[in-house]
Amino acid sequence: MSLYRDEGVVLRTQKLGEADRIVTILTRRSGRVRAAAKGVRKTKSRFGARLEPFTHVDLQLYERRSLDLITQAETLRPYGERLVFDYPRYTAGTAMLETAEKLTPIEKEPALRQFLLVIGGLRTLVEGGHDPRLVLDAYFLRSLAIAGYAPSLEECARCGERTGRAFAIAAGGMVCGSCRPPGSASPAEATVGLMIALLRGDWARADSSEPRHRLECSGLVAAYLQWHLEHGIRSLKHVEREKPSATIERGREAPSEWSGRPRDEAAESFHGMTLNTTIE
């Protein structure tokens, strides 16, 4: 039984008794942690406001036999405040948090790369420089890759031939003409190119993609993700797929409060600079 510090992003909260909550946090060092927060449902609890979903918090916890107890919480970045007024970004963020929880099934098993991906993904959503659906699909593809389920996109998932022409979820991605199982999808070449760009962090290429290819990409990525998780991602159905954002400002500067850290691992992880070490 001891005190420990960690930082993390709040994934979810549940009621506990009259005034308390169980808070699920994806932490930097300890992986996914479920901890109790006392008195946070009282209206005047500032502590409670720091423990809302999406918030990046610095925490002090007291280790206990059952649920650990949160004894201090300081906000590092309140991503939720920025997302809550923008429905497409908010739903994309919600799907990210839900997926992060599903992809970290074992409590307190370190999941640093998943943590960095979530932080990087939330920040990219909040900065508003890319279509939220693209950000979400990039997050999905990369978190699947971290979990060991990267789809094969440049060669046949079954025989390794260069020319994949169909997308077969159960086979693990693109398959060639001879390996193609019945019922596989036949996506446009540009759609497969978009998936490759999102996986690699090639935003110039992803941002210049056409709406119909984004739509097709989203459908394939969602189906692939659903297949790999035992249960569906509930919040996915709220993500708007029909109307990709019409205007996307490119290269917009991030507000200064989002660029506090000297070495920005989350941004590196999300924008692809460390991705080559992740996906092979």
Q: Which lies closer to Zn ion via its Cβ, residue 92 or residue 176?
A: 176
Q: What is the helix (H) or strand (E) element at residue 211, kind and residue range?
A: helix 211-228
Instruction: Note the residue count of the chain.
Output: 280
Instruction: Determine, following the binding rule CB under 5 A, whether residue 179 of this chain makes contact with Zn ion.
Output: yes
Residue 175 near residue 164, CB atoms below 8 Å: yes
Q: Which of 81, 86, 155, 161 binds Zn ion (CB under 5 A)?
A: 161
Stretch that binds Zn ion, among 28-36, 56-64, 160-168, 240-248 (CB under 5 A): 160-168
Instruction: Determine, following the binding rule CB under 5 A, whether residue 166 of this chain makes contact with Zn ion.
Output: no
Instruction: Determine, following the binding rule CB under 5 A, whether residue 158 of this chain makes contact with Zn ion.
Output: yes
Q: Which lies closer to Zn ion via its Cβ, residue 60 or residue 184?
A: 184
Query: How many binding residues for Zn ion (CB under 5 A)?
Result: 6
The structure tokens listed for 276 are: 């080559």
Instruction: Determine, following the binding rule CB under 5 A, whether residue 170 of this chain makes contact with Zn ion.
Output: no
Q: Which of 37, 118, 156, 239 binds Zn ion (CB under 5 A)?
A: 156
The structure tokens listed for 49 are: 């406001």
Q: Which lies closer to Zn ion via its Cβ, residue 16 or residue 150?
A: 150
> Regarding beta strands 173-175 and 3-16, do their DSSP bridges make them parallel or antiparallel, or are they unpaired?
unpaired
3-state secondary structure of 174: strand
Residue 169 near residue 223, CB atoms below 8 Å: yes
Q: Which lies closer to Zn ion via its Cβ, residue 83 or residue 171?
A: 171
The structure tokens listed for 22 are: 């169980």
Q: Which of 39, 42, 154, 159 binds Zn ion (CB under 5 A)?
A: 159
Q: Which of 10, 73, 147, 176 binds Zn ion (CB under 5 A)?
A: 176
Residue 221 near residue 141, CB atoms below 8 Å: yes
Instruction: Determine, following the binding rule CB under 5 A, whether residue 192 of this chain makes contact with Zn ion.
Output: no
Q: Which lies closer to Zn ion via its Cβ, residue 116 or residue 179?
A: 179
CB of 273 to Zn ion, least distance (A): 32
CA 30 to chain CA mean position, Å: 18
CA distance 199 to 175: 18
Residue 214 near residue 134, CB atoms below 8 Å: yes
Contact footprint for Zn ion (CB under 5 A)? 156, 158-159, 161, 176, 179
